[in-house]
Chains A and B, each alone.
Chain A
Amino acid sequence: MRRRKLLALALLAAAAPAAAQPAARLLPEGSEIVFTTRQMGVPVEGRFTRFSAEVALDARQPQAGRVVLLVDTASARFGAAELDSEVPQPIWLASAAFPQARFESTAIAAAGGGRFEVAGRLTIKGTTRELRVPVTLADDGAQTVAAGRFTLKRLDFRVGEAEWSDTALLADEVQVRFRLRLDGLPLPP
């Protein structure tokens, strides 16, 4: 009985600030998600052109915040048209079966100086992996810019199957950097 009461209290405590978190809106203009692959040593940059985010965060109480980022897997664009049409194929991101990649935060911690450590789950092509991303929040006039970078291993998510799983040809590591312009996420002065 005592345990159940404690649990209820804990749930209340956890839920209460979350409800109070202000929701921010992602502005596509000025936002970007860029990834860099390495093909036989050659860095090749691409970007996703369609993505959305649900951000409920109070920078003063980040531990109660929550971030969900959704990326349209068919929206990857490179400098070359033939690569653009290749990425949605089943051996890469399999966009027909998995139209969206998803990141969902599980814990956000302030690291001081506008820096935050966001832990969460990244799901690509039906595979989920734990991920920790350092994010900085910066004032950009009327909006706030959340920026960061991380490295993921494409083979964890079966991106580039069969003959393309050769990492001498296409490196396993993919560098991702993002810049999300958010409206309605005031920073503490």
Chain B
Amino acid sequence: MTASEPYTTPAIALHWLLALAIVGMLALGTWMTSLPLSPLRLKLYNWHKWAGVLVLALSLLRLAWRLAHRPPAAVAMPAWQRRAAAASHAAMYGLFLAVPLAGWAYSSAAGFPVVLFGVWPLPDFVAADRALAEAIRPLHRLLAWTLAALAALHVAAALHHQFVLRDGLLARMWPARRRR
């Protein structure tokens, strides 16, 4: 066991909160787009958008926290793995922002401005344009599934460290182990 310092409490909280949110949003997004027009679908779409705005805000907060707080030193691993981890973390941070932004842009382009909780209208940063909406929709979907694939890889790598290498890497991000 070569466990290093754990992450800070806010970093751990944001990590798990957003992990849950991303899994939930993928499930919700897949479900709602399969439904025919109905009050249920209208509700799910709006909840998805509101949650997406929260994910975007929390991801910005998380990015700011990450930039302001040096993460704990990496456990010993080959250089290519360290580089792969850094690259996938950077890509995921990019997607944390890109996926909700693409969803927001799609909503605006489709002519449905986002109104947070049905009360606060958010600005449209693209104009309502059916052709543009048709172009952005597959982009939002592709970016979301790219994030899902990277997250799956991230989980697989964490499990590999935990159960094969047994190097205590997961403990750095595990809430229960945060006792310092």
Q: State the A residues within 8 Å of B (CB).
A: 39-45, 78-80, 82-83, 86, 163-164, 166, 169-170
Contact = CB atoms under 8 A, between A and B. Distances in A.
Interface stretch (B55-63, B90-98, B106-114): B106-114
A42 B110 contact: no
Interface residues of B, dominant DSSP: loop
Interface residues of B, number: 19
B115 interface: yes
B39 interface: yes
Contact of A40 (B38, B42, B111): B42
B39 A42 contact: no
Contacts of B43: 40, 169
A80 B133 CA distance: 9
Interface of B: 37-39, 42-43, 46, 110-115, 117-119, 121, 128, 130, 133
Given A42-B112, A42-B113, A43-B115, 10 more contacts: A39-B46, A40-B43, A40-B118, A41-B119, A42-B118, A80-B111, A80-B130, A83-B37, A86-B37, A170-B42
Contacts, number: 47
A166 B115 CA distance: 19
Contact of A163 (B39, B113, B121): B39
B111 A79 contact: yes
A83 B36 CA distance: 11
B130 A40 contact: no
A169 B111 contact: no
B124 to A, nearest CB: 11
